[in-house]
Amino acid sequence: MQNFNSQYLKIFIVIYLLAFLFETEQFKAPLKFIYACFLKPIGNHADQQSRLNSFYKDQAEVYDATRGRLLRGRLTMLKLTADQLRKQIINTSRKPIWVDIGGGTGWNIEKMNDFFPIEQFEKVYLVDLCAPLCKIAESRFHAKGWNNVHVVCDDAASFKLPGIENDIGKIDLVTMSYSLSMIDKFYPVIDRIKSLLSPNGLFGIADFYVSGRVINNDIQVQQGTLNRHCNWFTRWFWQIWFEFDHINLHTSRRDYVEYQFDTIKSFNGRNHFLIPYLVQIPYYVWLGTTKSLASASHVNLNSINTSSLTSLEKLKNSAESKTDNSSVNRSVWRQPYNPTLPRHTQFNTYIYAFTWEDPREDMKVLDLNENDSMFVITSAGDNLLEYALRANPKRIHCVDLNPCQNHLLELKLAGISALNYKDFWSLFGKGKHPQFEHLLDTQLSPYLSSHAYQFWKTHSKTFQNNFFRTGSSGIALRILHLIITIAGLSRDVASLCHASSIKEQKKIYDDKLRPTILHSWLVKIFNNPVFLWKALGVPIRQWKMLLDEGTAHQYLCDTFDGVMAHYKLANDGYFYFLCLMLHYNSESCPSYLTQSGFETLKNGALNSIKIHTNYIVDVLKGLGDGELTKAVVMDHIDWFSESEAEEEIKQLARAVKKGGYVFWRSSARRPWYDKVFVKHGFAVDPICIREPGSGVPLDRVNMYASFYRATKL
Ligand SMILES: C[S@@+](CC[C@H](N)C(=O)[O-])C[C@H]1O[C@@H](n2cnc3c(N)ncnc32)[C@H](O)[C@@H]1O
Ligand SMILES: *[C@@H]1O[C@H](CO)[C@@H](O)[C@H](O)[C@H]1NC(C)=O
Ligand SMILES: *[C@@H]1O[C@H](CO)[C@@H](O)[C@H](O)[C@H]1NC(C)=O
Ligand SMILES: *[C@@H]1O[C@H](CO)[C@@H](O)[C@H](O)[C@H]1NC(C)=O
Ligand SMILES: *[C@@H]1O[C@H](CO)[C@@H](O)[C@H](O)[C@H]1NC(C)=O
């Protein structure tokens, strides 16, 4: 074992030295660190304290310099806890008390000051067993002049907090960064933390971990599945590697924490320490709270009849009403779902970064008011925000099978709730924000479910280049721009989007763009089913419906000619403005992106939203008879087989109240499933049918051939 040990250590030391030689000012610190970590014999100390003292004695002063890159996730953990803490104490006058266990040199406490000022804590305690590190922490706090910070040099399982008589339930925040894995007897430590925390107390962890495939159906574990699984080599290698330093990565620690607390946020990262790709140490950041009645952690999601997910919702709601004074809002909008099901894991990103139907036409016929209960498809969330903004219906059920579409909606809702207009416009108007990851950790996170947080944390580069170039719709836009560039049309496209009149716009379109865009070779691309599905999200069944009524070329002419002759892109036709410019402008954008729309939504129009991640038909099954008054199902029935359509329409007929409406768009002028609605007790009326060659558009998108309403009889 000893030989094996030193072999690997030597390789590691050489790599480490090489990497650091290039940064001469930091040269000395790593050498000391290497000496203490790898060369100096650890020895067989009888107890943990003397082992720690000896381990850290020579590296105490260089500790912070050497740990910056090794111990990743600490800043994220601090930002998340600060943000959540701020949101929670909003209604209390009491200052919070924080205990940092295994706090070492006090780095966490010093950094926290940037996110949550230390004076705003009643008291802060650093607990650490290692005397040389405690000493450094003490002089650090002394230099800062913080006299509400106390260093307790004691064991994590048994420490007493000076100045607090009975500490049970008195602590608002406990953090542990890279110390849980170092503590041998961790069960009593976690139990002690549980007893210390106040009813809404927070517990934050950043640490290394390893994990096999997630087969646990516990809802708590499911809160943190994205990237959690480590391959066998990673698991085996790092567990053994860290054991040399008495650091234990076994899953039992994290499992027990997740069992004892409610997860608020969970993130699994890989630390590419010094050498990207070769070295990938798994680490996690976790934020949790005292288990409440609202916790459904004992519920096994797989054993729930998916069609009665609302029973879980009821259970959650009834528990929530019991703890009404609780100020922790776990996920306000998102309903629980099981992310490990294949139906969800088939998607690793969103298809639509923007919604491709015109809500202005919907509003003309929806007849919405505050008493309505709606059922809509999430898509990119743009249209349901329009409904909320214009009419504030009492309930909007948003459904998507693709969890990423719902993550995107959650991000928009969190952005409206937490951000100022300028930042929100940067994100979703311009599609760019250089500080997105910082906003995510310091402002947006309390409003996001753990799932959505993990997704955006792992996709934090989305807003660096351009959000609208991401997702599958982003692929279509990139191809479009490639064609525009190759055809040398960039300048014409810009003048088209800034034309001062429809006449001018139409002229540019007719003279410059139409001959290329509607050229037959391009139409051929559109006839490729793989392209249609991957880039445009148009399944083959839908394309067939369209071809049954005419040619692809005619269809595309009808689409573009109608739009260009009727809607000025610069201040109205925001759909095509976006596709061509890859951003919105202040006049050509969805209403929720205008300052007044944003303010209206911020002031309470979002409470009606519930986000479901499941099949449409399964969500419908969970709703009561006649619970809905309006449903907008977009074009998705085009995708269905007859039996699928039949099953879903049957559920719609049950859930929609008498006199209620169902709306859909179709790529066919007369979709075959209209008669299925009639069969199940609806009266079907076309609102608008686009006649080929007429040049009259259906709406500002004009991608569909018809728009229908069914009224429940
Ligand atoms: C890797 S360091 C992390 C220090 C600091 N939290 C940070 O993030 O830089 C682990 C710390 O846990 C402390 N520690 C280990 N076992 C402990 C125990 N049983 N009780 C208290 N502290 C302990 C060690 O002394 C050491 O300071
Ligand atoms: C699930 O619920 C639906 C409707 O409530 C019911 O018809 C079905 O039998 C249930 N399935 C199971 C496995 O309990
Ligand atoms: C909520 O109120 C109940 C009874 O009024 C109380 O027992 C409980 O501790 C309170 N919870 C919180 C989180 O303040
Ligand atoms: C929690 O959410 C409810 C609405 O769902 C809202 O009224 C309340 O203000 C929120 N609490 C906090 C602390 O944000
Ligand atoms: C909504 O319902 C309430 C109570 O039934 C009623 O007073 C109100 O007029 C309704 N609003 C509209 C716009 O129908």
Residue nearest to atom 12 of ligand 1 (CA): 102
Kindly report, residue by residue over 205-256, the tens digit of the pLDDT.
999 999 888 766 677 677 888 888 888 888 888 888 888 778 898 889 999 9
Confidence of residue 156 (pLDDT cuts 50, 70, 90): very high
Q: Indicate if the pLDDT at residue 1 is higher than 60.
A: no
Q: Indicate if the pLDDT at residue 313 is higher than 70.
A: no
> What atom in ligand 2 is closest to the CA of residue 305?
1
Q: Indicate if the pLDDT at residue 319 is higher than 70.
A: no
Q: Hey, what CATH topology would domain 71-291 get?
A: Rossmann fold (3.40.50)
Q: Separation of 623 CA from ligand 2 center, angstroms?
A: 13
> What atom in ligand 3 is closest to the CA of residue 324?
1
Is the distance from CB of 418 to CB of 443 less than 8 angstroms? yes
> What atom in ligand 3 is closest to the CA of residue 198?
13
Mean pLDDT, residues 675-697 taken together: 92
* Probe target for ligand 2 pocket from 301, 302, 306, 308, with the most ligand atoms within 8 Å of CB: 308
171-177 β-sheet, strand order = 149-152, 123-127, 97-101, 171-177, 197-208, 281-290, 261-271
Q: Please give the full DSSP string across 410-430, using - where no structure is assigned.
A: HHHHHHHHHS-HHHHHIIIII
Confidence of residue 483 (pLDDT cuts 50, 70, 90): confident
Between CA 585 and CA 498 the distance in angstroms is: 11
Q: Indicate if the pLDDT at residue 67 is higher than 70.
A: yes
Residue 523 C-alpha from the chain's centroid:
36
The confidence score (pLDDT) of residue 123 equals: 96
Confidence of residue 8 (pLDDT cuts 50, 70, 90): low
In DSSP terms, which residues pair with 708 in a beta bridge?
A: 664, 686
Q: Ligand 2: which residues within 6 Å by Cβ?
A: 305, 307-308, 621
The confidence score (pLDDT) of residue 32 equals: 57
Q: Separation of 133 CA from ligand 1 center, angstroms?
A: 9
The confidence score (pLDDT) of residue 16 equals: 62
The confidence score (pLDDT) of residue 367 equals: 94
Kindly report, residue by residue over 79-117, the tens digit of the pLDDT.
999 999 988 877 777 899 999 999 999 999 999 999 999
Confidence of residue 31 (pLDDT cuts 50, 70, 90): low
Q: What phi and psi values does residue 501 have, to the nearest 5 degrees?
A: -145, 165
Q: Separation of 146 CA from ligand 1 center, angstroms?
A: 21
The confidence score (pLDDT) of residue 456 equals: 97
Q: Which range among 71-75, 92-96, 520-524, 648-652 has the greatest average pLDDT?
A: 648-652
> What atom in ligand 1 is closest to the CA of residue 247?
1
Candidate from 41-50, 102-111, 429-438, 505-514 with smallest mean pLDDT: 41-50
Kindly report, residue by residue over 530-573, the tens digit of the pLDDT.
776 666 667 777 877 877 887 778 888 888 999 999 999 999 99
Residue spans per domain, the chain: 2-65, 71-291, 471-581
The confidence score (pLDDT) of residue 300 equals: 42
Is 4 buried (19+), middle (13-18) or exposed (0-12) by CB count in 10 A?
exposed
**Does residue 133's CB lie within 6 angstroms of at least one atom of ligand 1?**
yes
Q: Separation of 197 CA from ligand 2 center, angstroms?
A: 40
Q: Separation of 370 CA from ligand 5 center, angstroms?
A: 8
| Higher pLDDT pick, 62 / 183 | 183
- Ligand with minimal distance to 625 CA: 2
Percent of the chain with pLDDT over 70: 84
Between CA 112 and CA 134 the distance in angstroms is: 18
Q: Indicate if the pLDDT at residue 512 is higher than 50.
A: yes
Report the mean per-residue pLDDT for the chain. Answer: 86
Q: Separation of 294 CA from ligand 2 center, angstroms?
A: 25
Mean pLDDT, residues 566-586 taken together: 94
Q: Indicate if the pLDDT at residue 324 is higher than 60.
A: no
Cα–Cα distances in angstroms (integers) from residue 568 to residues 232, 435, 500, 501, 562, in the given order: 57, 33, 8, 7, 11
Kindly report, residue by residue over 608-639, the tens digit of the pLDDT.
999 999 999 999 999 999 999 999 999 999 98
Q: Separation of 301 CA from ligand 2 center, angstroms?
A: 15
Residue nearest to atom 3 of ligand 2 (CA): 307
Q: Separation of 325 CA from ligand 3 center, angstroms?
A: 6
Which amino acid does the sequence have at 623? L
- Ligand with minimal distance to 609 CA: 4
Neighbours of 298 (CB within 10 A): 9
